[in-house]
């Protein structure tokens, strides 16, 4: 992972001390951690545990579907202050929306109170998407790794469920998002991989005033994966999407508007 920025904080702290004059009382720098909560909705309707496998949603293409799994990875939550200083713990968080596991997350960094542009990476960017690098992820969920013939590294998301197809049959879908990988021929094998493309997404949550106890909600609108700009036809793209280069690019495009900032609160 990227080098953390504790050193930068330390340097800023020293700078303040160095500039201190004898006849002024310096304003103490208050450092704080920032909490995040990750929520999921379908076009605004909250998705709770009880909705999995029970609530029917209709996607933009008109297919009725239910969800059974939604697990996704975020990394590199970054705080950039007005001076351009970057604070980034360089850590990651795997969220299991159905079970509620890791829907609360506090990056391992404390930053001075103030205004920041807050951003994160959905998935791992190529710098961090290193095969075998994270033992905890290797055994997380159903094993979060991606097979080497598909480029290795780690999944970004597993969204699974069932939908009613054009023949009116209930059919499973596996909307698995990974780094796009193109092959000379399919099925993929040890020698078929010809191109990898980083399809992680940089998500900007805008400017947020951070004080002690700040908590930021990050919302995922699941419907957006099937909507904009590409109207997703599950009858065509419902399975074996991992080695499908074009499908991964479409997911990347649709993923641009999936995340948004929710409530920003300050806990006492």
Q: How far apart are CA 250 and CA 261, in angstroms?
A: 23
Residue 142 touching another protein (CB under 8 A): yes
Pick the closest to residue 232 from 220, 218, 246 (CA basis): 246
Give the total of residues touching another protein (CB under 8 A): 39
Stretch that binds another protein, among 9-17, 26-34, 79-87, 128-136 (CB under 8 A): 128-136
Would you say 90 or 153 has its CB closer to another protein?
Answer: 153
Residue 139 touching another protein (CB under 8 A): yes
Residue 161 touching another protein (CB under 8 A): yes
Element (H, E) at 17: helix 6-19
What is the distance between the terminal CA atoms of the chain, rounded to a whole angstrom? 32
Would you say 187 or 229 has its CB closer to another protein?
Answer: 187
User: Could you tell me which residues are beta bridge partners of residue 111?
Assistant: 32
Pick the closest to residue 16 from 27, 8, 7 (CA basis): 27
Tell me how far, at minimum, the Cβ of 186 lies from another protein, in Å: 7
Would you say 34 or 94 has its CB closer to another protein?
Answer: 94
List of residues 6+ apart from 151 with CB closer than 8 A: 178, 179, 181, 193, 196
Would you say 41 or 68 has its CB closer to another protein?
Answer: 68
Which residue ranges make up the site for another protein (CB under 8 A)? Answer: 52-54, 68-69, 131-132, 135-136, 138-139, 141-143, 145, 147-150, 152, 160-162, 169-174, 186-190, 239-243
């Amino acid at each position: 992972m990227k080098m953390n920025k504790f050193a930068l904080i330390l340097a800023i702290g020293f700078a303040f001390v160095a500039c201190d004059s004898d006849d002024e009382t310096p304003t103490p720098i208050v450092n704080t951690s920032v909490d995040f909560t990750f929520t999921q909705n379908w076009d605004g309707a909250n998705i709770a545990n009880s909705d999995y496998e029970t609530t029917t949603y209709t996607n933009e293409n008109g297919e009725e579907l239910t969800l059974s799994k939604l697990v996704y990875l975020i990394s590199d939550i970054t705080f950039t202050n007005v001076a351009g200083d970057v604070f980034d713990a360089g850590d990651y968080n795997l969220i299991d929306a159905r079970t509620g596991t890791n829907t609360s997350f506090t990056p391992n960094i404390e930053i001075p109170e103030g205004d920041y542009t807050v951003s994160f990476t959905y998935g791992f960017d190529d710098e961090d998407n290193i095969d075998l690098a994270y033992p905890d992820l290797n055994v997380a969920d159903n094993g979060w790794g991606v097979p080497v013939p598909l480029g290795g590294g780690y999944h970004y998301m597993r969204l699974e469920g069932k939908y009613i197809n054009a023949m009116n049959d209930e059919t499973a879908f596996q909307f698995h998002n990974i780094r796009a990988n193109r092959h000379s021929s399919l099925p993929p094998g040890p020698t078929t991989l010809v191109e990898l493309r980083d399809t992680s997404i940089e998500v900007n949550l805008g400017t947020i005033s951070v004080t002690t106890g700040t908590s930021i909600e990050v919302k995922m609108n699941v419907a957006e994966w099937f909507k904009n700009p590409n109207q997703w036809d599950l009858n065509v793209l419902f399975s074996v999407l991992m080695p499908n280069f074009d499908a991964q690019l479409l997911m990347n495009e649709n993923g641009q508007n999936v995340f948004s900032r929710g409530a920003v609160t300050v806990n006492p």
